Structure 1
């Protein structure tokens, strides 16, 4: 088992298959009750409300190959009020998910009416004379550096088609903010004029994001016993997930460090440092879906979340919220008799689930797929901690930071952004709220 001092996970295995042969048909029975398809991929929002047809569409190929492959993408352009062509471009890159971008879905997400007056962010940007360029990717789950090349091509295209010389605004939602950040920094590193005056990230995980370790292991458990196409782990095992997640596990049986588990994340952080960490020339703005005052969610650490059982108890799982550090703290277990029986323990891992930040229904999504009952307060956990979204100055591997930091009490130099704004409460990751939308409109209107 682990010793105190390094964030890690340890798996205790109790497999019986060496002495007990698998009964005929058992594997098929187990496969039938396990979830299929990509786990943790978030569905596109329903297409309710008005649909706005874009005035132009660009097919894009990455400005640079990455590891011998060239990424592709698509941008759709909505002209601002009074414009018949591109005048004041604002590029908004899509975020973390599996497969190709759904740009109509991204439009509906960002332009959903928000209370109290049911206003719409993109409509207001267009009314201000800002041309909205929604940037999507052929594979959202591939390397950030690869999709950053697509973003660079989009920036070049916007410059070439722009009428006049108004500077660009570039950024993105969630991981899209990291993609735009890397693209701008790499262009500067190459001596290229990106003509971008403002960079804007929307709940971007600048220092990393969180998916509970026990849920990652459950996805591996399902994939090993009930493989499907696409695989259940296609998202959490993807290059993008490895680069994004502060803590990552490679399999259901993995024991070892979690903050340095993936060399893909280590390489990404090294690449970011090589290109300057952040772009220098633009004014760097960011918003966080998490609260600023250090108030977390009502989601206590080290508590049972759900119990799942099937086939008369032969198959099942126990899931608990992440404990508050400690050594060898139980986070759950899985069984498929006689093929698999395991219990998982973490050491020196912070209780990320309930900290201030943008949330996702991570526990709820998996419980629903399994048909397991779950209390409402345990459905959603923190995905992007506020301290990450506002890019506080701390090591992105060691996370030597108080996750409940009262950011309102900090001076501006504690952030690597020039200015930022947090939500009034812990809202869902990427959700447009009045607090964030009004701040963005005010900043871009200056």
Structure 2
């Protein structure tokens, strides 16, 4: 391994400096921030390229020693939903090329999402820098689950197919991601490397439940069975399924559902329309008094929210990976999740929690009832979850795996360049060997 690599992380819509929980701010923001942090701690230089989406953003911000965040001008300096960003990506690619062309040469580019892959593809063509890509979500998978609700242009699929063929390595986040790349995009299995997402052991760990509830200042009783839903508030996350499950619970279960997330600190339906829809779902299900929307919460308070809960629930229609279940397990609480995507990899059914069918509130309620009735089992599952994430999913371990991918990519590139050099030289003759002697 090169003692020091200069690495460009491209993440066009997900800045490592953005607060999580908004419509377009979630796991990818955390991924880029944590990978950049750990790469720098390992002695490497990291430049993150993200789109300038606010007029007050400086051209460059030092996130921490070894990590610079460049705000690339592309389109108006305002928020644009990622589904509408494709037209400004050529401008992003041109600006990124100029930035990298006139600075110290980067060893490798790590693209995050398909639009960042377009930029990496241009950099490889113009500057000869190899790139790897983490898609974070695949267009054909999204289309299978969302159908007409998918707001991305059809061109996304063609772009992804091109990237699958062109990238020096494809990073799959879980076994399902690897299978989807092969099944839907005919990816070369030998060029796929599986590297999961992670959690920060310095941020997330167990706390006393009653103490956490007290510190949050929430109106929660010691006997309340608290169910936590935390993350982006968008329809595909299946929060309506969690709300409807409350109606299937016995009255003997003192359930309280806390919903953390949104585009502001207050649960404002005008600012976050999904809150309004979910409130209506709760009214129709007759459980409005059991559902509490808390709005966006700062990252430093999330550990207490996890620890205050009896169980963490996430039942999306599909999920490429999902970081919040790792954080919940790190805090020692069991997780009930949809048996989809990366959740099938991170949650061990019957050991660290339960896997249930998506869009099946009755099945979810059955698992919740079982955990309420068996607190010792819930405690054991929480402890098993802690062991699992600490051994497999720390960001330090994830970053070491990524560095192995970078190293293999660079070694393969050097071998290919050497082979090309040899084949373009005149073949030696017997006379040449005699002359050498």
Structure with more of its chain in strand, by fraction: 1
Which one has the bigger helix percentage? Answer: 2
- Of structures 1 and 2, the larger Rg is shown by 2
TM-score, normalisation: structure 2: 0.33
Structure 1 length as normaliser, TM-score?
0.33
